[in-house]
Structure 1
Amino acid sequence: PEMTLAGPFDHWPTHQGFDYYYGFIGAETDQWNPELTEGTAPVRMVSPSGRENDYTLNEDLAVHARAWILQQKALAPDRPLFMYYATGATHAPLQAPRSWIDRFKGKFDMGWDEYRRVVFERQKKLGVVPASAILTPRPKELPAWESLSADQKRVAARLMEVFAGFMAQADHEIGRVIEAFRQTGQLDNTLVIFIAGDNGASLEGNLTGTDNMMEQVNGIEAPTAEILKHLDEIGGPNSNPHYPAGWAWAGNTPFQWGKRIGSHLGGTRDPMVVSWPSHIRDGGGTRAQYQNVTDVFPTILDAVKLPTPKSVNGVEQQVVNGVSFLDSLADPAAPEHRTQQYFEMHGNISMYSAGWVAAHRSGILPWTYVLAPGARVPEWELYNLEKDYSEANDLAAQNPDKLKALESVFDAEAKSNNVYPIDTRIGGGRDHGNASPPGGRSYYTFYPGATHLYGANAPGTRNRTHTFTAYVEMPASGGDGVLVAEGGTGAGYSLYIKDGHPCYTYNYFRREVTTISSPEKLAGGKAVIELNFAYDGGGLGKGAVVTLSINGKKEASAHLSHTVPRAYSFEETFDVGEDTASPVGPYAAPFPFTGTLERLELRAEAPPALTPNQQKAEREAEIRIQAARD
């Protein structure tokens, strides 16, 4: 509810201490057509003239960050500044300009097994892992590269090329941001903390990858043959891709597992690079002290010699659990201040204490979000990180007393930090595909300017009969534009007028795109345009008959064999009078309506009742949706 323009904005950046904000509020956004906010107002990314086909959010964020830095140093050169810079990379959707993707053509044809071995050898050569480190084996749940078909390999290799291009572009743009400090003569005295990753590389792209993440989220697996048809489009504006879990595992070399598996280092350890030339003497050196992301805040306070605030504007603050690692920046041999840390994520548990780690995996796989039928929950594992950098040797059987002691430490930490009860669910009991409109409403009246309504804040139209009625006035010279739209190039619907003809487009994951239109142009003056969506019923994602009428007269109709059951998009929104991000229909977004839209009415029936099996499938879908948002 806090993601709409109606507010409240209490937890938005400019209400949490930041003077300026430019970026996206959701968990992810499209690189080509992002949903952006400046302060608390929606804005549209403006591509430089002639750059529409290669200008993406990665570059746009850097442009705005550089401009802000240069402005601050011009207007208040002696005032310190703090900037939090977070790209959309490399969270799905994986998207980048073709010029960046093509740099990696053929680089990953070796597959993830061989790539992981090559990376491990490079890590040792560079000294970023100890010489004694062991490369952990591939989990049995992940397929060997050689077990894939030739077509599956083509798709998987291309998806990794896109990921690499996405990351390389982000790296380049981050460099341009840092260059702004050099340009103003501030780099030597600027503390830069760069963290790459999202609790390890993402294992959520299923076993073969996808060119449209929303299909997977909705429980639909596209055949490899379908993805091959769009292979060259992957990474571009008409794709919403994610790479296979095998590549994520390779990206977490040399550790086990990855994102969501918080029990193991592959799901908790990310690379961190710190630059502060005036204070760090061994540039390019490494540090072995155990640190947690919660240590960053106290380290920054320590660097600027500020005490940890006990209250802000009269509001008592939470206890800061982090520990400064500032002394380790100057001294590689500084003592380790963090001696223990617990982790828990969806039932995946680990407890670090004085060099030892106890780990317990829930058994739920990130690409299925459920425990496989007949699968057993794994036993606790024990590792000595001082001798075993990558958690390669499980010592639970040899040292049961140590394991028991660490389990007790975790129990105490869990009780004091409100971790219990351990919850393996990801969906949090949310209801997505079968949700009623917000507030239980079945009737809405919208006016122009009702835009940027995300997901659960939008009126429910999926899996139910509903009718949109637009009251418009057309100029004598004709008028075009969107009346209402939800979703985008990945999936969605749009009611619009193009070349004077009322039209309706329904996009079923780009696999089936249906457009109906009035054969006659609208004359100047007032008109009532109605789109009736008569749902077939019988469960979720079934077909529907869509009928377009003008002034009560039926103009066009079609049957949709499939409809989107649960979510059109995470980053795209419900919009009235324009289509704010990527276009659903055959037009260039935002395609604002150039006539007069007096109002738009929506009448929606209650969703159909679900059978027990359908309810079970829906709960699993809720988990997929919530997981993909992280």
Structure 2
Amino acid sequence: MAPDQFHGRIGRTYDESEPWWPEQTRAPAGAPNVLLVVLDDVGFGQLGCYGGLVDTPNIDGLAADGLRYNSFQTTALCSPTRSCLLTGRNHHSNAMAGITEISTGFPGYNGHVPHENGMLPEILVEQGYSTYHTGKWHLTPAETTSAAGPYDQWPLGRGFERFYGFLGGDTDQYTPALVHDNHQVDPPATPEEGYHLTEDLARRTIEFIGDAKQVDPEKPFFTYFCPGACHAPHQVPTEWADEYAGEFDVGWDEAREQILANQTELGIVPEDTDLSPHNPDVQEWDALSDDERRLYARMMEVFAGFLQHTDAQIGRVLDYLEEIGERDDTLVILVSDNGASAEGGPNGSVDENHFFNNVEESLEDNLAAMDDLGGPDYFNHYPFGWAWAGDTPFRRWKRETHRGGTSDPLIVSWPAGIEARGEIREQFVHAVDVVPTVLECVGIDAPEAIGGVTQSPIEGTSFAYSFDNPDAPELHTTQYFEMLGTRAVYHDGWRAVHSWPLGTPMTAADLSATSIEDSGWELYDLREDFSEAHDVASDRPEKVLELVQLWWSEAGKHDVLPLDGRGVERLAEKRPEAGRPRDRYVYYPGGQYIPENAAVRVLNRDHSITADLTVPVGGAEGAILAHGSKSGGYTLYVLDNHLRYVHNYVGVEEYEVVAEEPLLEGDVEVRMEFETTGEPALDEGLGAPGVVRLFHGDEQVAEGEVPRTVPITTGLTAGLSCGRDALSATTDAYRDRTPFAFTGDIARVVVDVSGEAVAHPEAALDRIVARE
């Protein structure tokens, strides 16, 4: 403390001096706790209180104690929406046009949320709040998620005092890639012991709140609670899914009718709302075979159980707040980050890594897995049709700017601050409006600077005016949308939409087209057509032109340009890396696992793995180097004191090579060499075949063929680990002994990469975007 900041008196001795303590920063009198709950990939028509067919009693109770909004809008994608929710600025203003893995070198697209766009926890922590985040983050640039950092875009670098969750877009619910504060941690239990991530996150949320409240009961908290649910994988204990046995046998076509009827009865949509037209990408339920209907219905049962299970964990947190006497003084805001997800494809999937590697899934194989869907053996996702039904009554789904992608649930409950109970609000609200609303409820203004960084203007508008005035005119009257080349704009009840097939290049002629006939813009009058069922562009060309011009104006203001509809080229764009590219990677045991985007890439190229070991008396066992998960990868390990290598081909088949001789005791160098023997066929889901040779020192002790290898990615939910198989065992050989740590000593492991890597940018783009 500088002398001029001290307000006591310093004399020659203590008797002549007067002590002084700086006053502790306190939140404004009466400031509420704030609990922001963000669901993942939950559509407008999936919660019970929004007419959905899933039981969500705790969320429904939250709505009964507060308000539901039927015109809440997001960006249609995960990370962009979350950046809006935390900063109050639009996603391009946050440099978060997409997710960081598809960033490009332009201001609206580079994936680094600027510090002049301060986040809500950065504001509140300086106003005397405790700030906690549990669950999904996905706002750290992909190249900075490893232990090498930098950490300024991790949760603790953006104002949160405590964090427990995962940094990426999705993770396995049974073996998650967990981070506690700024370091990785192992899950506290195993699937066999009953572990499930959502339950763990609820427990940690309660723990964080309770730790502070028992010491300083008057200090309010801001808690950002973000379960990975209901993003894929749809994983939940079987009993939760079984609650819905037979409930979805009616199929998605009839489900949409039922949901709309429920929504109309609840008043969540106007009485005259029409269902949007049949989605041409969705098969008609009655045209499916009996086996297809049986499988797809079960996939939806699993999703429904997953959502209800998530509701139960939210209920645990709410019950705890009631128990400690904080519920009435807590402003609870619950949203979803985008529409329901169609990333399971037209037929659904039991493992996303098959899709990412262009490995076709057969109906027969998926039927064989049906009874175990939702368990730890599968990374399942329902098909297109259930996403379409989940977004009832709208068109389309996540990633697109029709209302199916952007319209989501918004529930607000604050018993001590909002008189209304169980009412519906129709004012237009966007994700950027959450921050200014919270600030108004807390009673503070947006700061001019945070940590010495001058702040940009908040772009959202508080919707607190609507809390107790259902008829108040909406204040957020204009909003642009852009996602992966699809566009839309809302203005005074009108909405214009321009679709674009994902991955299709946009030419200069496409972008400069201004005539109504050539532009491809659709027009909807939401005052008469809530569901965007009736395109009136041909009847109102002057309105279309007005809104198209407005879109371009807003795009210019918010760093939306250059508009980028590229697929392959955008993925191939050069961006910063975790380290300089090199031919030799050195790994050590006992450290953190390396995320996939920062690990050595060995697929489709000659390579070797060399380890310096010390084998104790009696032999050793355990993983030396493992990369991937049960869904695909490779591992060099010792079992029964024999060196072994397994290449796991996308969870379908394992190819093992075993040394003929046991390891000698003492210091020994072991090596695996992989020599490619053919070309990959990436479009067919086949990586380069090869020959594997194992060595003790210079002596070859085994050789074997690997006829097909993982072509594109070892998986998204685990990375590379040295001295153990950190999360999801890469081979069945030691799956029941994970993490199967090496029992001897490992000095180091060197991976030497030679040859030219084979890239498949189209499939990689699908892989990356599906992690939203």
TM, length-normalised to structure 1: 0.93
| Aligned counterpart, 2:723 | 577
Q: CA deviation at 1:76?
A: 1.1
Q: CA deviation at 1:252?
A: 0.2
| Aligned counterpart, 1:99 | 239
Out of 177, 184, 194, which is 1:35 matched to?
177
Q: CA deviation at 1:501?
A: 2.2
Q: CA deviation at 1:450?
A: 4.3
Matching of residues 354-503 of structure 1 within 5 Å: 354-364=492-502, 379-426=520-567, 429-431=570-572, 439-503=580-644
Q: CA deviation at 1:400?
A: 0.7
Q: CA deviation at 1:436?
A: 11
| Whole-angstrom distance in 2 between the partners of 1:130 and 1:35 | 43
Task: Give the 3 Å change call, closer, same or farther, for CA 26–340 of structure 1 in structure 2.
Answer: same
| Whole-angstrom distance in 1 between the partners of 2:208 and 2:579 | 38
SS of equivalent to 2:655? strand
| Aligned counterpart, 1:337 | 475
| Aligned counterpart, 1:66 | 206
Out of 293, 311, 318, which is 1:171 matched to?
311
Q: CA deviation at 1:25?
A: 0.7
| Whole-angstrom distance in 2 between the partners of 1:363 and 1:504 | 42
Matching of residues 29-178 of structure 1 within 5 Å: 29-47=171-189, 52-178=192-318
- Structure 1: gaps (5+ residues): none
Q: CA deviation at 1:465?
A: 0.8
| Whole-angstrom distance in 1 between the partners of 2:535 and 2:440 | 38
| Whole-angstrom distance in 2 between the partners of 1:548 and 1:237 | 32
Q: Does 1:278 align with 2:416?
A: yes
SS of equivalent to 1:52? helix
What do the CA deviations read for 1:383-403 (whole angstroms, capped 9, x no partner)?
111111101111111111111
| Aligned counterpart, 2:114 | none
Q: For residue 495 of structure 2, what is the amino acid of its counterpart?
A: V
| Aligned counterpart, 2:44 | none
SS of equivalent to 1:82? strand
Q: Does 1:553 align with 2:699?
A: yes
Out of 307, 325, 331, which is 1:191 matched to?
331
Q: For residue 286 of structure 1, what is the amino acid of its counterpart?
A: I
Q: Does 1:251 align with 2:400?
A: no
| Aligned counterpart, 1:18 | 160
* Alignment check: 8 A CA contact 1:438 1:456 kept: no
* Alignment check: 8 A CA contact 1:156 1:243 kept: yes
| Aligned counterpart, 2:756 | 607
Task: Give the 3 Å change call, closer, same or farther, for CA 554–103 of structure 1 in structure 2.
Answer: farther
Task: Give the 3 Å change call, closer, same or farther, for CA 573–311 of structure 1 in structure 2.
Answer: same
* Alignment check: 8 A CA contact 2:504 2:565 kept: no
SS of equivalent to 1:117? helix
What do the CA deviations read for 1:289-341 (whole angstroms, capped 9, x no partner)?
00001000000000000101121011012221110011211222222110010
* Alignment check: 8 A CA contact 1:217 1:628 kept: no
Q: For residue 154 of structure 1, what is the amino acid of its counterpart?
A: R
Task: Give the 3 Å change call, closer, same or farther, for CA 431–547 of structure 1 in structure 2.
Answer: farther
| Whole-angstrom distance in 2 between the partners of 1:428 and 1:162 | 37
| Whole-angstrom distance in 2 between the partners of 1:183 and 1:546 | 60
Q: Does 1:536 align with 2:677?
A: yes
* Alignment check: 8 A CA contact 1:463 1:537 kept: no
Task: Give the 3 Å change call, closer, same or farther, for CA 224–315 of structure 1 in structure 2.
Answer: same
Worse-matched range after superposition: 268-277 or 151-160: 151-160
* Alignment check: 8 A CA contact 1:66 1:177 kept: yes
* Alignment check: 8 A CA contact 1:448 1:577 kept: yes
* Alignment check: 8 A CA contact 2:629 2:717 kept: no
Q: Does 1:589 align with 2:738?
A: yes
* Alignment check: 8 A CA contact 2:586 2:749 kept: yes
What do the CA deviations read for 1:347-378 (whole angstroms, capped 9, x no partner)?
111110000001110133xxxx5589xxx998
What do the CA deviations read for 1:192-231 (whole angstroms, capped 9, x no partner)?
00113x3201112110011110111222221111222222
Matching of residues 606-625 of structure 1 within 5 Å: 606-607=755-756, 618-625=760-767
SS of equivalent to 1:83? strand
Identical residues among aligned pairs (%): 37
| Whole-angstrom distance in 2 between the partners of 1:427 and 1:449 | 37
| Aligned counterpart, 1:266 | 404
Worse-matched range after superposition: 529-538 or 31-40: 529-538
- Structure 2: gaps (5+ residues): 1-142, 507-516
Q: For residue 599 of structure 1, what is the amino acid of its counterpart?
A: R
Root-mean-square deviation over aligned CA pairs: 2.1
Task: Give the 3 Å change call, closer, same or farther, for CA 511–328 of structure 1 in structure 2.
Answer: same
Q: CA deviation at 1:503?
A: 1.7
Q: CA deviation at 1:154?
A: 2.5
* Alignment check: 8 A CA contact 2:596 2:719 kept: yes
* Alignment check: 8 A CA contact 1:464 1:537 kept: no
Q: CA deviation at 1:87?
A: 0.8
| Whole-angstrom distance in 2 between the partners of 1:87 and 1:281 | 29
Q: For residue 490 of structure 2, what is the amino acid of its counterpart?
A: Y
| Whole-angstrom distance in 2 between the partners of 1:183 and 1:341 | 40
Aligned residues: 610
Task: Give the 3 Å change call, closer, same or farther, for CA 149–550 of structure 1 in structure 2.
Answer: farther
Task: Give the 3 Å change call, closer, same or farther, for CA 221–33 of structure 1 in structure 2.
Answer: same
Q: Does 1:563 align with 2:563?
A: no
* Alignment check: 8 A CA contact 1:481 1:592 kept: yes
| Whole-angstrom distance in 1 between the partners of 2:570 and 2:563 | 15
| Aligned counterpart, 2:427 | 289
* Alignment check: 8 A CA contact 1:279 1:330 kept: no
| Whole-angstrom distance in 2 between the partners of 1:388 and 1:22 | 43
Task: Give the 3 Å change call, closer, same or farther, for CA 124–371 of structure 1 in structure 2.
Answer: farther
| Whole-angstrom distance in 2 between the partners of 1:235 and 1:370 | 34
| Whole-angstrom distance in 1 between the partners of 2:366 and 2:432 | 41
| Whole-angstrom distance in 1 between the partners of 2:612 and 2:469 | 70
* Alignment check: 8 A CA contact 2:339 2:391 kept: yes
Q: CA deviation at 1:549?
A: 2.3
* Alignment check: 8 A CA contact 1:427 1:625 kept: no
| Aligned counterpart, 2:511 | none
SS of equivalent to 2:243? helix
What do the CA deviations read for 1:222-250 (whole angstroms, capped 9, x no partner)?
11112222222222111111211111011
Q: For residue 462 of structure 1, what is the amino acid of its counterpart?
A: L
| Whole-angstrom distance in 2 between the partners of 1:99 and 1:370 | 43
What do the CA deviations read for 1:496-536 (whole angstroms, capped 9, x no partner)?
11232222221111211122223443242122221111122
| Aligned counterpart, 1:628 | 770
| Aligned counterpart, 1:201 | 340
Determine which structure has greater relative contact order: mean sequence separation of CA pairs < 8 Å that are 6+ residues apart, divided by chain length.
Answer: 2
What do the CA deviations read for 1:5-28 (whole angstroms, capped 9, x no partner)?
111101001111111000001111
* Alignment check: 8 A CA contact 2:504 2:567 kept: no
Q: Does 1:2 align with 2:144?
A: yes
SS of equivalent to 1:468? strand
SS of equivalent to 1:486? strand
